[in-house]
Amino acid sequence: MQATYRIYEVNKQLKMEMAMGEHHIIEAIEKQYPFLKNNPSQAEMDDCVVEYIDNNMDIDFNNEETAFTYQTIASRRGYVIIEGVFDFTSDKIESAKIENTILVDEVAYHSNIVEFDLPNMKRSFRLHKERRKTFFQQNNKN
């Protein structure tokens, strides 16, 4: 089982698209928020998904806390797809610290694949139960 977190650039904006198994994320948040088992509204479900992600993922650029704004949450073909934008531009990335524990305790053998798909940076990291965080320093500055 795996979820993907693709970080990319559109018109100088640093964006991220997350894709995770719908039934896995619903099961995980229902454990933390039992009221969701009683037919919640879509807004309540979205709020709980956002809170769960905020509590289980942190991406900081250049050793600074980096704000992330959620733009869309949708369900497609058995996946929850979440898109948003960072308050940071890709040309200023010198380093990144990534901690992602989404679903690693709830789903056996789960991995989170964090992929940087940027003009000057193509990297990916597999985070899981034994490796929950990583750090990298960009070597070739422009």
Kindly state whether residue 77 falls inside one of the protein's structural domains.
yes
SS (H, E, C) 45-105: HHHHHHHHHHHHEEEEECCEECCEEEEEEEEECCEEEEEEEECCCHHHCCEEEEEECCCCC
Kindly state whether residue 70 falls inside one of the protein's structural domains.
yes
Kindly state whether residue 41 falls inside one of the protein's structural domains.
yes
Q: What's residue 99's pLDDT?
A: 96
How many structural domains does the chain have?
1
Structural domain including 104 reads 2-137
Question: In order along the chain (142 residues), what is the average pLDDT of each group of 10 residues?
Answer: 94 94 93 88 93 96 94 95 94 91 94 93 94 86 46
Q: Is the pTM of this model over 0.95?
A: no
Kindly state whether residue 60 falls inside one of the protein's structural domains.
yes
Q: What's residue 140's pLDDT?
A: 56
Kindly state whether residue 68 falls inside one of the protein's structural domains.
yes
Kindly state whether residue 142 falls inside one of the protein's structural domains.
no
